[in-house]
Amino acid sequence: MISLAGRDILHGWGKFVLTGVGLGLLIGVTLSMAGVYRGMIDDAQALLDNSGADLWVVQKDTLGPYAEPSSLNQDTERPIRAMAGVDRAAGVTYLTMQIAHEGKDVRVMVVGAEVAEPGEPGQPPHLIAGRRIVQGHYEAVADVKTGFAIGDEVMVRRNTYRIVGLTSRMVSSGGDPMLFLSLKDAQEAQFEKDSDAIVRQRARTASSPVLNPPGNPAVAEAVNAAQASSTNVNAVLVTVVPGADAEEVAATIRRWQRVTVYTRAQMEEILVEKMIANSARQIGMFLVILAIVSAAIVAFIIYSMTIAKIREIAVLKLIGTRNRTIAGMILQQALGLGLIGFAVGKIAATFWAPFFPKYVLLLPADSVRGFVAVMAICALASLLAIQAALKVDPAEAIGG
């Protein structure tokens, strides 16, 4: 037996292939949407992995530092470091901001990490070029996605920083590339007031008899210095000694400090289930709509291809073709359309993924799921046409 579906497709392949390509672009969009979602999860995981922390110590009762603002005194880290099971503890700051660079605004997450010695939590774990920050001031390490190069000078607030090293895949949970500064520099950038505010603050200090007691100018100076500098951090990242149970160490910290402590698993839950959940639902909606649109397209094209063949189908039935054979022909055509569509979609999604501003992660498992879904949708969409074909009366071939 020959393949009636295949012959029909070959006979009118132009229309068929064009429809398949159109469907394929739609499938490509669908795969990319799934890829964007996977990318978001991967970004979140990269953020947690690259922070190098086992525990996140944040302001009491907040979901900080990524999902909510959190502010802690930097001094919190010292007693933590002394606790049993704690290997290292280091304050970090996170601040998302726009940086002007070569006439363009680049959105980055400025990360302040302690630079005194290598390997402190919060520092970028590996560099793809250059070196780590060694001077306390005015050096920065940037993620390649910022577009910065080694030797570039970038302005953060009022100071200029020289890029000394590059990292990759260091992004915020929102996908913004990171710019690492020393903790002190970052604190200055984050908590520093602008000049006007400082002038006004100084004037208020000077006019207060309590803060500026007559005959003792040293008091006002000390107050000004205390007000200008900040020793706050957004979180203290903690690593535990090998073999120690992170959960137990977290419990110890909670007992002694007025802070909230998250383990890696809890942090992942906050990022993935709280922050990404909405985007995931959004993407889920898109996937549903795209699936419906694809189904409608396949159904329409297969239906119209079948209606155009009604007389041939009547003749086929008259000369003894089984319903099974005719239904099979239509089903095969729908699946063929799905096959072309999926191939085109997969190629398109792979091709355009790098051009997306956000990280698009195309998982093979998602492709398999997508393929199964496309085939199921096509099979479903062919039912309408099959029903129409089965209703055709072989007597129509004889006519009146």
Partner 1 sequence: MAEGIRIENLVKTYGSGDTAVHALRGVDMSVAKGEVVGLIGPSGSGKSTLLKCLGAVIEPTSGRMTIGDTVIYDDGWKVNDLRALRRDLIGFIFQAPYLIPFLDVTDNVALLPMLAGKSNTQARKEARDLLEALDVAHRAAAMPSQLSGGEQQRVSIARALVNRPPVILADEPTAPLDSVRALAVVDLLNTMAKQFETAIIVVTHDEKIIPTFRRLYNIRDGVTVEERASAPSGG
Give the binding site for partner 1 (CB under 8 A): 1-2, 4, 7-8, 10-12, 311-312, 315-322, 325, 393-395, 397-400
Q: Which of 287, 329 has the CB closer to partner 1?
A: 329
Q: Which of 103, 400 has the CB closer to Mg ion?
A: 400
- Among 333, 342, 341, 334, residue whose Cα is nearest residue 369: 342
Q: Which of 118, 399 has the CB closer to Mg ion?
A: 399
Residue 189: CB atoms within 10 A of its CB come to 20
Convert 222-237 to b/e letters by CB count within 10 Å (16 or more is b). ebbeeeeebebbbbbb
242 touches, from partner 1, Mg ion, none (C-beta below 5 to 8 Å by class):
none
Q: Which of 312, 366 has the CB closer to partner 1?
A: 312
- Among 55, 32, 96, 72, residue whose Cα is nearest residue 268: 55
Beta bridge mates, 386: none
Cα end-to-end distance, the chain, whole Å: 32
Cβ at position 303, least distance to partner 1 in Å? 18
- Name the residue whose CB lies closest to Mg ion: 400
User: Within 13 A of 378's CA, how many CA atoms are on the CB side?
Assistant: 26
Helices (H), the chain: 4-11, 13-51, 77-81, 183-191, 195-207, 217-228, 246-256, 264-268, 277-307, 310-318, 323-352, 364-391, 395-398
Cβ at position 334, least distance to partner 1 in Å? 16
User: Which phi and psi angles does 189 have, rounded to 5°?
Assistant: -65, -40
Cβ at position 320, least distance to Mg ion in Å? 22
- Residue 240 burial (C-beta neighbours within 10 Å; 0-12, 13-18, 19+): buried
- Helix, strand, or coil (residue 57): strand
8 touches, from Mg ion, partner 1, none (C-beta below 5 to 8 Å by class):
partner 1
CB 94 within 8 A of CB 111: yes
318 touches, from partner 1, Mg ion, none (C-beta below 5 to 8 Å by class):
partner 1
Give the x/- contact pattern for Mg ion in 341-380, rule: CB under 5 A.
----------------------------------------
Q: By CB under 5 A, how many residues form the interface with Mg ion? A: 1
Cβ at position 397, least distance to Mg ion in Å? 13
**Region binding Mg ion by CB under 5 A among candidate stretches 65-73, 77-85, 288-296, 392-400:** 392-400
Q: Give the length of the chain.
A: 400
Cβ at position 399, least distance to Mg ion in Å? 7
7 touches, from partner 1, Mg ion, none (C-beta below 5 to 8 Å by class):
partner 1
Q: Which of 318, 327 has the CB closer to Mg ion?
A: 318
For the four alpha carbons of 182, 267, 128 and 159, in that order, the dihedral sign comes to negative
205 touches, from partner 1, Mg ion, none (C-beta below 5 to 8 Å by class):
none
Cβ at position 6, least distance to partner 1 in Å? 9
12 touches, from partner 1, Mg ion, none (C-beta below 5 to 8 Å by class):
partner 1
316 touches, from partner 1, Mg ion, none (C-beta below 5 to 8 Å by class):
partner 1
- Residue ranges binding Mg ion (CB under 5 A): 400
